[in-house]
Amino acid sequence: MANSRLRVTRRGMLGGAASIAGAGVGAIARAGGKGGKKRKDEEKGTSTPPSFLLIQLDDMRTADWAVLRRTRRALSGAAWFPNYVVGYPYCAASRASLLTGQYAHNHGIVSPDERACFGRWQDEQFDRIALGSVLQGAGYRTMMNGKFINGYEEDSRIPAGWNRWAGLAGGGHLGQNIVLDGKVVPTEKESFTTNVLGDYASEFIFQTPLTKPIFVMFNPNEPHGPIKPENRYRNRFSSVTLPRTGAFNEADVSDKPAYVSSMPLLDAEAIAAAEEWNRGRMRMLLSVDAVISRLIGDLKKSGRLDNTSIFIVSDNGYMLGEHRLSEKHAPYTPSAVIPMLAWGPGFKAGTDMRLVSNVDIAPTCAALAGTVMPDADGISLIGRRERAYVPMYRFPSVEEGCGGRGLRSRDLLYFELETREREFYDLRNDPMELVNLLPPGGPENVFPAGLPGSKGLHALTEAYGACRGQTCSQSV
């Protein structure tokens, strides 16, 4: 593609990205229904721990929620968390945070070498403190299904904490081998692997006695590239285009760090390629939508659904033309903020505006199960507790930039790069992050009323970058 940094590369188009206008997203919060009804044994005064279905997609963007129509219908009455923040928007780091409840600066699984990511998980024995082991110790029967931590291979040792394991090595979509409890099981060449994973999850649900609570972690590879949709969906979304927001192919990036300001405007060829990539991702998500809705139906048929808490998240978002970028490492909203859906015991229908993070999921599940996560930085979402900030990080070895760290709240994004460049956005008045209030060569302390100055934010960044446990969760 001529004149384009939004190109088909190993971490660009192979990483994949898609978005459609946010149509349908608000319907999740507006939908009626009775999510999280009490079981009959609860009404009689007995206590049965809820089961959990934790679904983690790969590189999903906010607007991709509009594709998951069956899922949204099946979970009408869900809680919608639009301020769900992934502090380290990068696959391995985010997945480790979800399972441990720890920020990346504490678990350290951030290597550009994917083998080193799973290697650190094994060497440091994170299995012992991760959600699977914690729930297993609380009497749950557990299953890991799909992609785990980057770097997991077919001959890797299966991590502790799982009664059933259906793991994927690699990131394909058709005919992928599945490691089923240590045995490599090939699938048919043209079979959509997520459908097969769904079969194993269904089997696990029906084979587990109703008296035994279950934890199913379902991690499909979609919508991450490469683009390989099922044939039945290959002609869908043929006319969908990317939304032309102010951030898309941003006209003036001179106020941004060099890794952004050096980007040329996307030309027509680059935009056309990105839009076709977007359509392919959407087609793959149709398959995911069918499997998720089927699993919800299986929970209902098995008698579990009323006492099951369901979470649907993504390991990170993906930028597809916003600020002229194609990546998932940046601290900007399309990369780092992907709304979460939660349904079932512990959650009420509607929009919950609290600032939450992927480190909060494990502590929330543990609290609902009547136990605790050891060494977690996150907090339980049960109740109304909320933190003030989420620490943010940028991957240090991406092709087009440098590392850095900062903070995000509901009102602001502050970021310091290794190049000594800084960014500050007033999200109240600039939600698309178009105007950097700390541009190169600009004034030092010109901030809107009611927001901290740069010295205060620098000190907070230092403090949050060294936080551990409860010091990470200062409440507002």
DSSP summary character for residue 374: T
| Residues linked to residue 350 through DSSP beta bridges, in sequence order | 79
Q: What is the pLDDT of residue 456?
A: 85
Q: What is the pLDDT of residue 114?
A: 85
Which CATH superfamily includes the segment(s) 25-386? Answer: Alkaline Phosphatase, subunit A (3.40.720.10)
On whether the CB atoms of residues 44 and 88 are closer than 8 A, the answer is: no
> For residue 226, is the peptide bond before it cis, meaning its omega torsion is within 30 degrees of 0?
yes
Given a cut of 90, whether residue 272 has pLDDT beyond it is yes
Q: What is the pLDDT of residue 360?
A: 97
Q: Mean pLDDT over residues 370-388, rounded?
A: 94
Torsion angle of the four alpha carbons 266, 270, 272, 277, in this order, in degrees rounded to the nearest 10: -120
pLDDT digits (tens, 9 = 90+) for 273-286: 999 999 999 999 99
Q: Which tokens in the block code for residue 294?
A: 């089927």
Element (H, E) at 92: helix 91-100
On whether the CB atoms of residues 328 and 15 are closer than 8 A, the answer is: yes
Given a cut of 80, whether residue 147 has pLDDT beyond it is yes
> Nearest Cα to 220, choosing from 182, 172, 157?
172
Given a cut of 80, whether residue 34 has pLDDT beyond it is no
Of 182-191, 277-286, 303-312, 368-377, the one with minimum mean pLDDT is 182-191
Q: What is the pLDDT of residue 475?
A: 53
Place of tokens 């996560």: 373
Given a cut of 90, whether residue 36 has pLDDT beyond it is no
pLDDT digits (tens, 9 = 90+) for 442-455: 655 555 666 676 67
Q: Give percent of the chain above pLDDT 90.
A: 76
Sheet holding 390-394, edge to edge: 390-394, 404-408, 412-417, 422-426
When pLDDT is cut at 50, 70 and 90, the band that residue 391 belongs to is very high
| Mean pLDDT of all residues belonging to the chain | 88
Of 41-45, 171-175, 251-255, 277-281, the one with minimum mean pLDDT is 41-45
Q: What is the pLDDT of residue 18?
A: 32
Where are the domains positioned within the chain? 25-386
3-state SS class at 438:
coil
When pLDDT is cut at 50, 70 and 90, the band that residue 397 belongs to is low
pLDDT digits (tens, 9 = 90+) for 120-141: 999 999 999 999 999 999 999 9
Q: Which amino acid is at 342?
A: A
Given a cut of 50, whether residue 336 has pLDDT beyond it is yes
Q: What is the pTM of this model?
A: 0.89
Q: What is the pLDDT of residue 237?
A: 96
Q: What is the pLDDT of residue 39?
A: 44
